Amino acid sequence: MLYLAIKAVLSGIIIAAVSEIAKRWPGFGALVASLPLVSILGMLWLWRDTKDIERMAAHAEGTFWFVLPSLPMFLLIPFLLRRGVGFYPALVSGCALTIGLYMGMVFIGPRFGLKL
């Protein structure tokens, strides 16, 4: 249980740090947010828990393929905000787009040999 609490606290600290950095320096905050910190932590926790090479390789490869459909969200949200759409509707639209693209990746990816 302590291990789970440590993972949760560390992950929360990273999110809070990104938020605070972005308040002062939006560009630097974006850089820190774009770092694959969550992915790296996830890989560290997975490796510590399993030491399974194949599982780790599949996780890293799957992460790559799932990052791709999430990227358009980061173009749609600023596009909508700059056209007067409120923050929450823009965020929901970006999330909906990402969910749709994730679903597309899950259904179409295996047809191209991707094991997701």
Question: From the centroid of its chain, how far is CA 35?
Answer: 10
Domain boundaries, the chain: 53-116
- What pLDDT is recorded for position 97? 98
- What pLDDT is recorded for position 53? 97
Supply the DSSP symbol for 69: G
Token pair 């393929």 is at which residue?
65
Separation in Å, CA 55 to CA 43, 58, 67:
10, 5, 18
pLDDT digits (tens, 9 = 90+) for 66-115: 999 999 999 999 999 999 999 999 999 999 999 999 999 999 999 988 88
Other C-beta atoms within 10 Å of 72: how many? 15
Question: Global pTM?
Answer: 0.76
pLDDT digits (tens, 9 = 90+) for 34-80: 888 888 988 999 999 999 999 999 999 999 999 999 999 999 999 99
- Return the axis-axis angle of helices 73-82 and 87-108, rounded to nearest 10°: 150
